[in-house]
Amino acid sequence: EAGVAQSPRYKIIEKRQSVAFWCNPISGHATLYWYQQILGQGPKLLIQFQNNGVVDDSQLPKDRFSAERLKGVDSTLKIQPAKLEDSAVYLCASSGTGTGNLEQYFGPGTRLTVT
Amino acid sequence: GQNIDQPTEMTATEGAIVQINCTYQTSGFNGLFWYQQHAGEAPTFLSYNVLDGLEEKGRFSSFLSRSKGYSYLLLKELQMKDSASYLCAVSPFSGGYNKLIFGAGTRLAVHP
């Protein structure tokens, strides 16, 4: 079974520029998550999709971050404009539907450096 | 509020046993997860507890006490490859949607 795919793996941009990340979840997984992981910290949930609907975006900085999941499969996360504090690894994860033991499978992440 | 605490760093010797503790305060509880994350890699699932008690899986075991808001991950027969960060994550009640809140992670260094 193919895992969660993400691209690009690395990105370096200057502050105030824009950047987009792409994620393809495990086939059949209805739930997709975007996390931000700053060095030395645990992952922080930015947004959670159930199929193509948003179920939690309470920690997404909506003035600069946006995300979409068209057709309930692939997803993109965009930052516009980027700030220095956005330097982090952006992890995408997917899982099945429901509650309980729903292991989240993580992609390799995109390491973003904002200079 | 929601809070998850775990030690920042631990060291141990190859072949030994180490226990990584996690305490949590969340609004509701749907289960507690442990993930392993090697440097520069994605987190990978280790264990899940929703009821009190010990879950054993090979060299790794995880314990939960819901009344105390406490869990630990026990690693036996430590190997060098166990050097990694160990993330405690809690699934709070979230209206039927699975959601995880992660602690900052415990960085474990295994020495020969």
Looking at residue B77, its pLDDT comes to 97
> What pLDDT, in 10s, does the model give residues B13-65?
999 999 999 999 988 888 999 999 999 899 999 999 999 999 999 999 999 99
CA-nearest residue of chain A to B45?
A103
User: Are B98 and A45 within 8 A, CB to CB?
Assistant: no
Q: Which residue of A has its CA nearest to B103?
A: A42
Of A31, A40, A44, the CB nearest to B98: A31
Q: Are B62 and B49 in contact (CB under 8 A)?
A: yes
Measure A45 CA to nearest chain B CA, in Å: 7
Per-residue confidence (pLDDT) for residue B35, from 0 to 100: 97
Dihedral sign from CA coordinates of A101, B110, A38, B104: positive
Nearest to B97 among A50, A104, A106 (CB): A50
* Residue-level pLDDT at B92: 85
Measured in angstroms, the CA of B37 and the nearest CA of chain A are apart by 10
Please say whether the beta carbons of B58 and B52 come within 8 A. no
Q: What is the pLDDT of residue B27?
A: 82
The string of pLDDT tens digits covering residues B55-93 is: 999 999 999 999 999 999 999 999 999 999 999 999 887
Distance CA B2, CA A55 (A): 19
Q: What is the pLDDT along chain A (115 residues), one digit of tens a residue?
A: 689 999 999 999 999 999 999 999 999 898 999 999 999 999 999 999 998 899 999 999 999 999 999 888 999 999 999 999 999 999 999 998 765 557 899 999 999 999 9
